Amino acid sequence: MDFNLPPELVAYLAELDSFIEAKIKPLEQRDDNMRYFDHRREYERTDWDAGGLPKKEWEDLLGQARKLADEAGHLRYAWPQELGGKGGSNLDMAVIREHLAAKGLGLHNDLQNEHSIVGNNPFILMFKEFATNAQYERDGENLLAGKMRTGFGLTEPEHGSDATWMDTTAVRQDKDGQPGWLIQGEKMWTTGMHVATHVMVFARTSGKDGDATGITCFIVPADTPGVKIEEYLWTFNMPTDHPRVSFTDVWIPEDSYWGQVDRGLGLGQSFVHQNRIRQAASSLGAAVYCIEESVKYARARKPFGKPLA
């Protein structure tokens, strides 16, 4: 097996490094923006009066960095070429994410909220692979333009990785003569609901617990009656945008789903399989950074007259 990186990928890492120095670092240093990354970061990022949600100023700064990255052609690197990206592979993304995380905390990459100048957006490839032509016509333009911001509702309070045992259900029900679905259930860690326009709700529509088939991926507008953010979950690092969301008598029209009825688990797997390998690579990069910083400290620190190393 050849573990050497493709030359074009190595060259792209160098291009990213140059972009960070030329465009991202100056923004990071401006207006005391380092307060979001140094010892003050938890308090500066968090709106404590709003239940621990991210401050608007913090998220606006991340938006500025992403805009610069998008203008430079980096943000959509992993998007399919026919959707305006560069068709970056999962191998490319793993290497890039490790490389960026190994630089440490900064405006170029922040692991707490998946922010990066090379965007991690599994929704795009998932949508391309599974959406029907009619669904693409309906939602494609808004999704690609960033006007459709979608939360991911798979995990439940009683069910984590055992997704095929989910308690959330959807049954067909007409309303005012219009066919549709009635959703009942609850989801955990539905990241980004404070700014989401829609939420992907995976619900059992047929079959029995444990069946891979019989699950459908519904696209529910976030302001639909019966959709309720029950609580934002406090995590090891604040701010949080990870809520528990309930769905009580939530009615949506018949065509409010992506992919096919009863075949929605594949969409969830597509999202997770893209995301988890990238998160693992980021964790590896962060670990490399921590080790190198520890070595530097052990060589510089001199208790009792000798280097700690």
Three-state DSSP state, 154: coil
Per-residue pLDDT of the chain (309 residues; tens, 9 = 90+): 888 999 999 999 999 999 999 999 999 999 999 999 999 999 999 999 999 999 999 999 999 999 999 999 999 999 999 888 999 999 999 999 999 999 999 999 999 998 999 999 888 989 999 999 999 999 999 999 989 999 999 999 998 888 899 999 999 999 999 999 999 999 999 999 999 999 999 999 999 999 999 999 999 999 999 999 999 998 888 999 999 999 999 999 999 999 999 999 999 999 998 889 999 999 999 999 999 999 999 999 999 999 999
Q: Quick check: 230 and 245 in contact, CB under 8 A?
A: yes
Domain boundaries, the chain: 7-125+269-305, 150-258
* Residue 133 one-letter amino acid: N
* Residue 169 one-letter amino acid: T
Q: Helix 7-19 and helix 90-101: axis angle, to 10°? A: 40
We find that the CATH architecture of domain 150-258 is Beta Barrel (2.40)
Tokens representing 32 are 């005391």
Whether a cis peptide bond, with omega within 30° of 0, leads into 239 is: yes
Q: Quick check: 131 and 180 in contact, CB under 8 A?
A: no
Which candidate, 135, 119, 136, places its Cα nearest to that of 85?
A: 119
DSSP 6-44: PHHHHHHHHHHHHHIIIIIHHHHHGGGGGGGTSTTHHHH
Q: Which residues of 213-228 are buried (b: 16+ CB within 10 A; e: fewer)?
A: ebbbbbbbebebeebe
Q: Residue 28 contacts by C-beta under 8 Å, 6 or more apart in sequence?
A: 34, 37, 106, 107, 108
